[in-house]
A = this chain, B = another copy of it.
Amino acid sequence: MPSFKVTVAYDGTGLVGWQRQASGVSVQGLLEHALAELDGRHVPVAGAGRTDAGVHALGQVASFSLDRDIDAATLVRALNAHLPETVRALTAEYVGTAFHARFDASRKSYQYRIWCGEALNPFERFYVWHVPVRLDPDAMDTAARQLEGSHDFAAFQTAGSEPETTERTVFSSRVSGVDDPDARGRLILYDVTGDGFLRHMVRAVAGTLVEIGRGRYASEWMTAVLESRDRARAGQNAPAQGLFLMRVEY
């Protein structure tokens, strides 16, 4: 009974997210459907990050065990033959049966993408949050770095899940800007790596960073929000479509 770790990329537009739901198309559901075709039975699939509806991934990781033995390259090809073009298996490797994509993950990296420019670049329309005012990426970067380290991130958590602890370690939290002269705008990228994230945490941080970037608050406000542990003080949750799960490490 071979077990596999598979890296998956998907365009989350129109999907209900990673997790199977009562209705709508989920990445987990699509993978389980494809694996049922391959293995002739229901194959439960675990995912490293339960991305929300509309969130994208370049490096989601899924794990599962099959009855049938199959080599890794053939598995990638067979999965892609049964998946829609919006979801692609990128790599597969054998792992021990004890491996679990979520419980064994030690670091996850997300990127949040913001488009600044009066007109929204049509090629980015499903992959950014469009903020049509000038943002200051240096102020945003100064603020983002204040989240590095081990902290109680309760201020950036959406109620609804009840984790045992709201403490997380953020290894890196940085903002950079990329001018796109062809499309008359600037892409602002927020890259964050941590040992785990609370529900909507990256989106709440991105919303707070935009408040700082547009000059409504100084960079130090990030620390004040963090220390308050009060969700009401952080910015709005930035829209799902700007968020990408980039990488999961084990």
Contact = CB atoms under 8 A, between A and B. Distances in A.
Interface residues of A, number: 30
Interface in A84-120: 85-91, 118-120
B122 A10 contact: yes
A121 interface: yes
A110 to B, nearest CB: 12
Contact of A119 (B11, B56, B59, B76): B76
A142 interface: no
B182 A88 contact: no
30 contacts: A7-B184, A9-B119, A9-B122, A9-B123, A9-B182, A9-B183, A10-B122, A11-B122, A11-B123, A11-B125, A56-B123, A58-B123, A58-B182, A58-B183, A59-B182, A76-B118, A76-B119, A77-B118, A85-B120, A85-B125, A86-B122, A86-B125, A87-B122, A88-B120, A88-B122, A89-B119, A90-B119, A90-B183, A90-B184, A182-B247
